[in-house]
């Protein structure tokens, strides 16, 4: 039996089929980087399998001696907001109470991380824009948005750090929902400040309703460049494994943050 915990990637889910396809592609890249590691995907809504049902299956396998009893549950989220602080922990605690054979540990969210900035730069390069290009470029860092003030503050700090390290002439955070400014407004603000070229970098993992809103705002305001979503960028796969390794190391040190005894 493999002694390594199973990696359970927890995605939000979407009615848009591109969402699940992108999550599957990202997890396939993770498996390719770490052969032999069991990587499962569970969803909070819209898609199957839902997280509780998947954990039930893992528990049944453990009971039959066919599986691993330890699970690292990794939220496929870029910031700590409602899903990471409340929704996912509640789902995992409920499952842990019903499934005593499983030891479930929640890993940290993906951001902030230099790997995310590297993934953003990869996607912008695919769209034809690179840091250090002779033509000055301002970037709108467009996220899905959250009413949680911590998430907004982290995005603002990420924008400041990205401008400092990459050399963009400006980086402006924007949101598709819950907070302001919207993507179109941020693009217009950069234009008003005299920025010659404006690129929109979606700070989202998979396509769906809110990423489509980001794209619509970029087109509405006449952005010069719209990058693809982060998706299955190699840096994203490496970041998932980094968060998994951190959680597994906490387990090895005897950190008592697991959701079950």
Which CATH number does 6-110+233-252 carry? 3.40.50.1400
pLDDT of residue 83: 87
What's the pLDDT at 261? 33
pLDDT number for residue 117: 97
Q: Is the pLDDT of residue 96 over 60?
A: yes
The CATH 3.40.50.1400 portion of the chain extends over 6-110+233-252, 128-226
pLDDT above 80 for 28:
yes
Q: What is the mean pLDDT of residues 39-56?
A: 98
> Of 200, 215, 155, which is closest to residue 179 (Cα–Cα)?
155
Tell me: the pLDDT tens digits for 175-193? Answer: 999 999 999 999 999 999 9
Instruction: State how far the Cα of 121 lies from the Cα of 28, in Å rounded to an integer.
Output: 22
Cis-peptide, bond into residue 118, ω within 30° of zero: no
pLDDT at 22: 98
Average pLDDT over residues 42-52: 97
Best CATH choice for the domain 128-226 from the list 3.40.50.1400, 3.40.50.360, 3.20.20.70, 3.20.20.80: 3.40.50.1400
pLDDT of residue 260: 45
Per-residue b/e over 101-119, b at no fewer than 16 CB within 10 Å?
ebbbbbbbbbbbbebbbbb
Q: What is the pLDDT of residue 258?
A: 58
Mean pLDDT of the chain: 94
* pTM, two decimal places: 0.94
Residue range 68-88, pLDDT digits in tens: 899 999 999 999 988 899 999
Residue 30 vs residues 18, 95, 174: alpha-carbon distances, Å: 18, 25, 29
User: Considering only 1-10, 99-108, 247-256, which range has the smallest mean pLDDT?
Assistant: 247-256
Cα–Cα separations (whole angstroms), residue 58 to 43, 52, 100, 133: 15, 10, 12, 49
Give the whole-angstrom CA distance, residue 203 versus residue 143: 5
> Two tokens at 203?
């700070």
């Amino acid at each position: 039996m493999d002694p390594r915990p199973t990696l359970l990637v927890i995605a939000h889910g979407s009615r848009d089929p591109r969402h699940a396809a992108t999550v599957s592609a990202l997890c396939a890249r993770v498996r390719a980087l770490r052969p032999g590691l069991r990587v499962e995907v569970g969803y909070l809504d819209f898609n199957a399998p839902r997280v509780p049902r998947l954990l039930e299956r893992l528990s049944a396998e453990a009971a039959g001696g066919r599986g691993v009893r330890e699970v690292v549950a990794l939220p496929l989220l870029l910031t700590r907001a409602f899903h990471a602080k409340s929704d996912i922990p509640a789902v995992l605690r409920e499952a842990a109470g019903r499934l005593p054979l499983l030891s479930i540990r929640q890993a940290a969210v993906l951001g902030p991380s230099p790997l995310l900035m590297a993934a953003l730069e990869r996607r912008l390069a695919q769209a034809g824009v690179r840091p250090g290009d002779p033509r000055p470029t301002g970037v709108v860092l467009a996220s899905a948005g959250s009413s949680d003030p911590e998430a907004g503050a982290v995005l603002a700090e990420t924008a400041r750090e990205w401008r400092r390290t990459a050399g963009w002439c400006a980086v402006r955070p924007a949101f598709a929902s819950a907070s302001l400014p919207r993507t179109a407004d941020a693009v217009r603000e950069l234009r008003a400040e005299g920025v010659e070229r404006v690129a929109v970098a979606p700070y989202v993992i998979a396509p769906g309703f809110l990423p489509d809103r980001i794209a619509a705002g970029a087109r509405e305001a006449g952005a010069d460049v719209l990058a693809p979503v982060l998706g299955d960028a190699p840096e994203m796969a490496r970041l998932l494994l980094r968060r998994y390794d951190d959680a597994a190391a906490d387990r090895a040190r005897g950190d008592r943050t697991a959701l079950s005894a």
